Amino acid sequence: IRHGQTVWNAESRLAGSTDVELTALGRQQARSLRPDLSGFEFDSVWSSDLKRAIDTAQLAYGGPIIDSRIRELDFGQLEGEVWKDLSPALRRRLVDFNGFAAPGGESLVDLGVRLTKFADELSPGHHLVFTHGGVIGWFLHMVGAHQFVQNCTVVTMQWAPEPGLVEISVPSVESMTLL
């Protein structure tokens, strides 16, 4: 699940490792997931170590296990930059997951290494993970599904034995924010 809306999401700013708070809408988006998630029992519940993901997890389901490996890509010198102000070539590399390395930050290759390690260490079962758009984007890219996910979108994936996309549940129009 991607975290709820933050102030920087609303401003279309890159918020990688910056610990940005949820907006009132982001908190409502997270709370709106609770009724659907409460009917499921998971083998584990995880969250990135960034507050926006932790708060979303707590509002949507309950206390998660915190793991820094599932935090957003570190955008380095691009942290806080407005999406439309980035060059078209840079935006394309980010969207296509092709050759992007943030100046003073992290590359998509580095992101993939830590995400693969996290996923490969999960025990067999059903795990609920609260994380970020870039993290979910990387996993979707790995299974051939290239899609941007809105805040509080639920993505169901099978990681092993063969990775694959099972379902993407887009939030309702009432809880959605357009970037």
Catalytic residue list contains 72:
yes
Can you tell me which residue has the tokens 């059903």? 126
CB 5 within 8 A of CB 25: yes
Give me the catalytic one of 21, 72, 79, 81. 72
Are the beta carbons of 93 and 73 closer than 8 angstroms? no
Judge whether 3 counts as a catalytic residue. Answer: yes
125/16 Cα distance (integer angstroms): 29
Decide if 159 contacts 179 (C-beta within 8 A).
no
Indicate which residues carry an active-site annotation. Answer: 3, 72
